Amino acid sequence: MKIGFVGLGNMGAPMATNLAKAGHMVTGYDPAGVTAERVIVAETLEGAVRGQAAVITMLPNGAIVRAVHDDIARLAEPGALLVDCSTVDVDSARAVHGIALDAGLLSLDAPVSGGTGGAAAGTLTFMVGGGADAFAKGQPLFEIMGQKAVLCGEAGAGQAAKICNNMILGISMIGVCEAFHLADRLGLDRQAMFDVASTSSGSCWSLNTYCPAPGIGPKSPADNDYRPGFAAELMLKDLNLSQEAADVSGAATELGRHARDIYAGFVEAGGKGRDFSAILEKLTAR
């Protein structure tokens, strides 16, 4: 398939490379001029979009996603599939679907979970919103870039699922970090705490798979001086999105709001550029 890929950052570049390695003809464009292995370089957005059967975007925020898709809709081939893998607000996702529909294009909002490691390894999870026909056309691409793709519903449902999932993640990581901090203060060995909690009712992904304590459990960013697999400022972005959605929908998300405030303080106090699990380091420094 001929594929255009717009946004070749830390996530987009390895995703585009995996598609190219699988035999697809991938043309990439990034306004910052960055490139990706095996991906044909386009000097303009038009060069990445014209003549493509599918165009995938991985962009920073909703305003940029809307603006870029206004341009893509003018340039894309009739019937082309647009797949936006950015993490943005639900309203922006729905607006992009409307832009695509008006232009006679298929559209999916398909944010991802799995971080830069999952993007490189091709093990991402895609949470997808859109029609069944568009999803069927995008499924072979999801199978290359990830290990699972779930059609969550109509336009915007993928973003809704991503926001809810990452609110759980932010809350649970803080809980795990606080538990290790309390264990330290009580004189409980961290390995013993992990061995008990990871196999009992405290078991969760933030503990079992992505343990924030260095040297405990499977290897994680904690074992690499908290260099980010998922940066704290990106967690803050997602928690902000969850609270914006909660305000609009009238949902009660007290823990989500408190987690947002904790990450806001952490990023402001020097946590930017560190993994979101470095909350533990902040607690233990007290």
Helix then strand count (H, E) for the chain reads 12, 9
pLDDT of residue 285 exceeding 90: no
Tokens of 78: 């009739």
Q: Quick: pLDDT tens for 194-220.
A: 999 999 999 999 999 999 999 999 999
Tokens of 177: 């970090």
pLDDT of residue 32 exceeding 90: yes
For residue 36, which of 11, 60, 54 has the smallest C-alpha distance? 11
Listed in sequence order, the DSSP H helices in 82-131 are: 90-102, 115-121
Is residue 160 within 8 A of residue 112, CB to CB? The reply is: no
Residue 115: what pLDDT? 87
Domain boundaries, the chain: 2-153, 160-285
Tokens of 237: 């972005």
CATH ID of 2-153, from 3.40.50.1820, 3.30.930.10, 3.40.50.720, 3.40.50.300: 3.40.50.720
Kindly report the average pLDDT of the chain as a whole number. 97
Active site residues: 162
For residue 82, which of 63, 54, 60 has the smallest C-alpha distance? 54
**Torsion on CA atoms 4, 23, 162, 85, rounded to nearest 10:** -10
Name residue 35's amino acid.
T
Q: Quick: pLDDT tens for 129-175.
A: 999 999 999 999 999 999 999 999 999 999 999 999 999 999 999 99
160-285, CATH topology level: N-(1-d-carboxylethyl)-l-norvaline Dehydrogenase; domain 2 (1.10.1040)
Rounded to an integer, what distance in angstroms lies between the CA atom of residue 48 and that of residue 71? 12
